[in-house]
Structures are given as structure tokens and as C-alpha cells.
Chains A and B, each alone.
Chain A
């Protein structure tokens, strides 16, 4: 396995001196403390898949509770012990499951997993670099991530239970163990895990930005970058600007919890006694949290949109429509994402005028989002669409982006949000626009770049089955949830049996749970396909999808430094698909205009 890295030891081109000496990969340096972007990307992906399965399993457990609140499920006791006594889920543990499910999905799967996997895999490959700017920091980024996942998982085994205050961990609930058992050691571990996670995100993000700005190959101007890279760049910048704020929020919370400060606490009487905290404001925490929290939504979404853009253009055999508008809309979305956080706080008693400003900025986001959707539709129009599993998932992403984005228009309007804030309508909205869109983008990425990662193809039939079951499962789960919300049912409720106005929640919830279980089972097909194909998939061709971008010009085997010879030079933009006059329906970025006189457009010489 380690012999391939010697193949190019002779060609000593200036500036890449690390290729001039022999590599001796041991098991530890190759698989564990690897500094190679390709290996690190796989580490991120496999870790994220495992965490995603855990989080999905949790959601199925609480879906059982929500769907059939008066049934008993004896096996719960065997899995959960005293949290599932007599087959009934403990209400405290219900909140813990919801909290950890949300945390894992948002941070570990769709931030760490999505950006970590694909930024690492694609940035060096697509900009034409031997590796990340700093392989060491990159390795550190993964191990911080791993540590953070390990701490979060460990918190599940704490006696009093893991953090239970919701993934948004609003104090005072998250600050006071008297208020909920999960706010004891469980919450401390949550905070430690998050601090590690932020470390990982920052190390990764800085590396991505530096690599994209400095290590582009000859000819790779910013306007010749694939949209994936633009998405990763903007995402990384968002992360660098917003994660430190979450860090500050978490740190202050840690102080309030452990050292008796009063940043977030004031005038509290609990468990029969007044607390000494005075002068703090719980609302301050929300401002800090959502200053990260909203950009976080786009940290989750933009990479998925980037991957989908690439897949859609490639498999449509047609250039992405409005390349510059796509970049522009991402930049506008990213900018706006920093000035809309107040839409999560309309009913915290915020000054109504400030609320108006946030309504305005929030609804503005719909404009660049609409542009993106129309551009995707224009790309598909009169295309020559190859419906690969990746393409199906990319189309699914666009569908969710539309469905979920539209309900955002309602939630962003303060006058309407008064009534639906924190109801199931919100749960439906964000699962569709953030959860499902981003997960579908991730699936599209995995199916599309699996050959690049593992040198083998995934089984397409299993991919098709996976897609169809999943899209049915997702719409079946989250579409009806809107109505539960519109019937006035709040979220984070253990049961809807106590008040008879919750008929909707009771009746619709069973249906929702059936679809959720269907969708959940479908993921097992994916998991098996993934691990099976790693070893038994068909060997992949070098450029299996007929793509134009650089990652497919490198050999299928993984080399240190990616290309055996010189790094290829780039001569054109990445979307010359279906160009009139060309012999094939794609022209790679490495082909100079001088070789394609028949297909050159005016100005391309």
C-alpha cells in the first residue's frame, strides 16, 4: 500500500521539496495521524456517518414516543435501562435525546461532517494543490473533531443524563442543575465538546481559506474556481467569523455555571431558595448564540449547495446557468446571514423597531435564494440529464430548498412568527430547508465523489432505492409536521395527551412516525452500500462522470501530492459542458483554447 508514494519521488519540481525524500507510511501515519487531505476527508466522513446513525437512532426512539404515546415498548428498557423503565421513555431523557440529536445533526454531521469531508477532499484537488496549506493543522482539526464527538457520546453515559436544554442550550435552564438534571455534568461535557468542536472548525476553516487563496495552480483564477470551492471558501469565512462568538457564549455560560458569575442570570428563585446571581440577562446569551446560530445555518447549507451545483452541471451535461450570479448570491446570502439573527428572538421582548429591522433583512435573504433556485431550473432546462444517484439527490436538494425556503418567508415575518414561533411548524421548516437539503447535498457528494475517494463505484441500484425511499420518507415525515404546528402544538413536548386541543398532534404524529421509520431504515441501505462498495465496488475509471474539473485528472490511486508529475495548468472555466462544436460533451479545464478552435466562443482564443 505504501509503495505508490515513491513513484514520483524522482520528479523534483521546485517548491515541493517534501516530495524529494522517501515516505515510509506506517499504519499510524497513514490511517490515524495522517496529514494527507484525502485520508483526513475519509476520517471526517466515516466519523460523521457513525454520529449520524447515532442521532438518527435517537430520533427514531423519540418518534416512537411521539407517535404512540400510550403504548409501551419493552425493548426500550433493554436498550436504555432506567431511562426506559417499563417500556416508557423517561420525560427527562426525552429532552436529552432531542437535545443530543439536534446537536449531533447540526454540528457533527452537517458542519464537521459535511465541510470536513468535502472541503478536505475537494479543495486541494479542485484548485490544483498538492495538499492543504498545513497538513498538520488539518490533522489537528480532525482530532479535535474526533475528541469532541467522543466527549459528546460519553456524555450519554452520565448518571444524571446528558445535556437536556435543547440544542440551543438557553440559560437559565442550561445553567442550573436544579432546573433539569441534564444541566449537571452532562451540560459541562456538552460545553467541553463544543469548545473542542469550535477549535476543530477554526483550524479547518483557516486552512481552507489559506489553501484556496494561496495554493491555486497556474491559470486557476478566482473566476475559474468551481462553485464547490466558492461555497467552501464562503463557508469557511462564515465559520471563522461566527464560531468565536459561540465560543464566547459557551465560556461565559461555563463561568456562570461553575464560578458564580452572573452574565446570564438574574433574579432567580428555584428549589425553594433565591439565588445570589444578579444583573445578568438570559437574552444576552440568545444574541450571542444566534449570532453564530444563523450563519451556522448557511455553514450547513452552502457547502451542500456548492456540491449540488457541481453535480447538477456535470450530470446535466450543461454549464451551470449564471455562474457569476451563483457566486454573487452566495456572497449576498453570507453577508445577510450576519444581520438576521434577531428573527429567532422576535418574542423575547425585543424592541419592536429592532424587530422590524430583522424582518427586513431576513426577507431580503429570499431574493438571492430565489435567484439560486431559478438558476438551477435554468440549468436543467433543455439539458441532457444523466440521472445518477448523485443527480437525484441534487434534484432532491433543490426541491427541499424550495419547500423549506418558502415557509421561511412566514417565519421571518414577526407579525406571523408571534403565533408559530417554537411550534412544530418551525421543526418542519428547519428539517426541510436545513436538515434534509444539506443531508441530500451530502449524499449527492458521497455518491458523486465516492470513486474519487475510494477508487471504486457505489452500487447504483442500491443508490436509487436509497434515494426514492429517502425522499418519500422525508416529505412524509416533515410535510405533515407543518400542520401539527399550525394546530398550535409547541415543540419539545414529551407528549400531547394532556390537553384535548392537541388532537392534531396525536393523530398526525403516528403517520409522521411511520414515515420516519421508513426513512430511517432506508439509511441502512446507504450504510451497507457505502462500506460494501469500499471493498467490493467496481473499480472506478479515472473520470467516471465525464467531468471537467481537476480532481478527475489525477490518477485513481491516491498519491501523496495528488498528481504524479507536474500539477496541471488550468486554461478555462469549469463548466464547458455541451459546448457547441466540441467533439465530446465536456472539455476539461486543463485543455487550452488553442486545442479547441472549433468550439471557442468569441473572446476565447
Chain B
């Protein structure tokens, strides 16, 4: 039934357009035209050019003002505040150039439309003008390049030693975070060591890994310095933190990194956005398969005290060495939970 309907609709559309062509043909023949462009065509289309310019510019301006509510809220990272203001400089510049050139373009198309007996101004070249409009963009762009590169060098400068090391680990189709613990060093990991219980393939022989913690939410203390180390175990993913204005690809076989300083807590951002349910998010931004669109992790930026409290509740990568020998493989999960409980008690003492 639907098949039939679909076919009928398609057929009707085709017939309609076919008839439209026929009508246009008849109009043409009635008026005895030979498809040459007449003064009337120029007048009508010239006027439409002006209308398009005015309505288009108006529509775009209206839409832009209206759509401001959708833009990302203020940047929640130190470098993000800088790139945002640079972005606005860029936009200001672009909008000015956009308006000037588009207005000239459509205005000329209307203003200098063809009239019989009129001749165009023969003006094949003017070296002075060309020089001017090569130099001006060159100077402006040099300004942008210098400003942009200064920012870039600033953003990509090596992270300070004290920055907290956090691994962000992507796989089809979720994120895991691994905190490096008291030694601020991640334990070695290898994709060949991945098992059901060791999803990140952390090497249990590496001492550095003993205090690593694995979490399914990303918590960051506000005002801290954080260096993310990105990994993927299967295909490319891209860790995109829109609110931090940060993004980095996760590449199997390679570690990439990004340094950020989060500046606004989740609670403050809820006030700023007026949305009590607001949450930061980590998105996947590189096509990675069927559930690409659903690959994300909640991120929380909070005062250092809250962070510490949360951190204590998170499980270590491995059950404690002293507890390990007693474990039967089938009981691993339970034991891991139990030992996490133990550790909490130990840690809070």
C-alpha cells in the first residue's frame, strides 16, 4: 500500500514538473521569444537581487541573534577563554568583510544591469588597485596569523610537571578514564593484556599501575592543571570537550595528549546557563561506527574537596596484591568490589 502511494506521489511530482515545463514553453512561444535575455528579464532579476540581498541579510541577522541561545556557554578552561575572544575577533572581521562584499556583489548586479545602447566601462586592469587589494588582505592575515600562532604555542606548550595525569581511553562505544594515583604516573598498558577484567590492558607487573584508578565518569578539580593522555584500542575516536574548547584524536598504537586548566565548576555553570540539569560532557567526534552518536561520558568539574571525596570512592585497577592470591577467577568482580570497600575504609583512616 505504502509502496503504491510512494510510487503515485513520485509519478504525480514528475507529471507536475513536466506540465510546468510545458507551460513555460507555451509562455515563451506565445510571447514569441527566442530565449534571448530581454531588458525585462534584467529588471525583474535585478530587483530580485536587491530583495534577496535585503531579505537575506535581514534573515541572517535575525537568525544569528536568535540562535545565540544555542551557542556554547562561556569556556570552562583557561585557554578556552582566550580562544573564544580570538574567535570573536575573527567573527567581527569576517562579518564586516561579508557584509561589504556581498552588498557590493548584489548591488552591482542590480545597479549595472544591461540597458540597450549602453556600453560597459572598458576597464581591464588597474595595477594600483590590485596592489592595494593584495596588500590589505595580506596585512590583515599576517595579524591573524601572528595572534593565532601565539595562542597556539601557548596552548600546546609542554604541560607543567605537577599537572595531574589522566588517561582517557576510547573504545567502541564508550569512554573510560584512568587516574594515575599518588605517583602521578600511569602504569604501562598493552592491548595484548586486555581481558574482561582488565579492559584497558594495564600491566599488573608495573609498579606505577598499582595505584591507578579506573572511573566511568570524569571528575576534575576546578583550578587544577590536568594533562590528558588519549588512547584508543580499536578505531579512531576523538575526545571532544566542547565546554573546555578542547579536542584530541585517540589513535590506536599511539598516545596523544592535551593540557587543560578547568576554571568553572559544574555548579557554577548551572547558574551561568540557568539550567539546573546542565552537565559537562565528553563526546566522541570521529566517526567510529554504528553507535558513534551515543559515545559519551559525563564530566564533572568540582571544588578540590569534593573531588577528593569522589576520588576515594573509585576502584583501583587491580585488587590489592595482598588480597589477590585468595581470589578464585570467577569471583574476581565481587572481590574487586569488596576490596574497593576495604580500601575506602583504609583510606579514610
- A interface list, Cβ under 8 A from B: 74-75, 77-79, 91-92, 95, 165-166, 170, 172-173, 176, 179-180, 265-270, 274, 279-283, 316-325, 347-349, 352, 355-356, 359-360, 363-364, 366-367, 370-371, 373-378, 380-388, 392, 395, 398-399, 402-403, 406-407, 409-410, 413-416, 418-419, 421-423, 457-462, 464, 468, 471-472, 475, 479-480, 483-484, 486-488, 490, 492-496, 498-501, 503-504, 507-508, 521, 524-525, 528-529, 532, 536-538, 541, 544, 575, 577-580, 585
Contact = CB atoms under 8 A, between A and B. Distances in A.
Contacts of A179: 172, 234-235, 288-289
Contacts of B24: 459, 461-462
- Contact size range, B: 35 or more
Nearest to A320: B124
A524 B17 contact: yes
A77 B281 contact: no
Interface in B88-126: 90-91, 93-94, 97-98, 101-102, 104-106, 108-109, 112-115, 118-126
B129 interface: yes
Contacts of B290: 91-92, 95, 180
Query: Which 5 A-B residue pairings sit nearest by Cβ, starting from the closest?
Result: A488-B242, A266-B253, A504-B70, A349-B256, A352-B156
Contacts of B102: 399, 402-403
Given A370-B133, A418-B83, A422-B238, A78 B2 contact: yes
Nearest to A494: B293
B144 A349 contact: no
Interface stretch (B44-52, B203-211, B307-315, B325-333): B44-52
B291 interface: yes
B63 A387 contact: no
30 contacts: A74-B2, A166-B287, A173-B289, A265-B252, A265-B253, A316-B120, A347-B238, A359-B149, A360-B149, A380-B105, A380-B109, A382-B123, A383-B121, A385-B113, A388-B37, A406-B94, A406-B98, A409-B93, A409-B144, A413-B148, A422-B238, A460-B41, A461-B27, A480-B67, A486-B70, A490-B293, A498-B294, A499-B296, A575-B124, A580-B122
Interface stretch (B159-167, B177-185, B212-220, B243-251): B243-251
B141 to A, nearest CB: 5
A325 B130 contact: yes
B97 A414 contact: no
B13 A374 contact: no
B170 to A, nearest CB: 12
Contacts of A504: 67, 70-71
Given A468-B48, A537-B35, A281 B90 contact: no
Contacts of B321: none
B201 interface: yes
Contacts of B124: 319-323, 575
Given A267-B191, A269-B194, A421-B285, A359 B148 contact: yes
B4 to A, nearest CB: 9
A287 to B, nearest CB: 13
A401 to B, nearest CB: 10
A485 B50 CA distance: 30
Interface in B246-302: 246-249, 251-257, 277, 281, 283-294, 296
Given A318-B120, A384-B115, A415 B83 contact: yes
A483 B67 contact: yes
B284 to A, nearest CB: 7
Contacts of A347: 238, 247-249
B346 interface: no
Nearest to B245: A419
Given A422-B285, A508-B70, A366 B137 contact: yes
A380 B108 contact: yes
Interface in B57-106: 60, 63-64, 67, 70-72, 80, 83, 86-87, 90-91, 93-94, 97-98, 101-102, 104-106
Given A318-B120, A403-B98, A413-B148, A367 B141 contact: yes
B144 to A, nearest CB: 6
A188 B46 CA distance: 50
B256 A348 contact: yes
Contacts of A421: 247, 285
B238 A499 contact: no
The listed residue with most A CB atoms (<10 A of its CB), out of B34, B49, B91, B124, is B124
B83 A419 contact: yes
Given A283-B251, A387-B46, A459-B24, A487 B71 contact: yes
B348 interface: no
B34 A457 contact: yes
Contacts of A536: 25
A353 to B, nearest CB: 9
A318 B120 CA distance: 6
A151 B195 CA distance: 41
Contacts of B277: 500
A459 B293 CA distance: 45
A77 B98 contact: no
B249 A355 contact: no
A459 B25 contact: yes
A209 B256 CA distance: 43
A494 to B, nearest CB: 5
B192 interface: yes
Nearest to B294: A498
A377 B67 contact: no
Nearest to A172: B235
Nearest to A419: B245
A493 B123 CA distance: 50
A367 B120 contact: no
A587 to B, nearest CB: 11
B138 interface: yes
A418 B152 CA distance: 10
A541 to B, nearest CB: 8
A378 to B, nearest CB: 7
B145 to A, nearest CB: 5
Contact of A77 (B2, B90, B144): B2
Interface string B1-39: 011011000000110011011001101100000111100
A267 B97 CA distance: 48
A378 B90 contact: no
B59 to A, nearest CB: 8
A99 to B, nearest CB: 9
Contacts of B60: 475, 479
A273 to B, nearest CB: 9
B113 A498 contact: no
A141 B81 CA distance: 53
The listed residue with most B CB atoms (<10 A of its CB), out of A320, A471, A499, is A499
A459 B242 CA distance: 49
Contacts of A75: 2-3, 5-6
Nearest to B80: A419
The listed residue with most B CB atoms (<10 A of its CB), out of A323, A421, A460, is A460
Contacts of A325: 125, 130
Contacts of A366: 137, 141
A525 B149 contact: no
Contacts of A575: 124
B112 A492 contact: no
Contacts of A460: 28, 35, 37, 41
Nearest to B255: A349
A496 to B, nearest CB: 8
A524 B21 CA distance: 11
Contacts of A415: 83, 86, 148-149, 151-152, 155
Nearest to A365: B141
Contact of B145 (A269, A359, A387, A492): A359
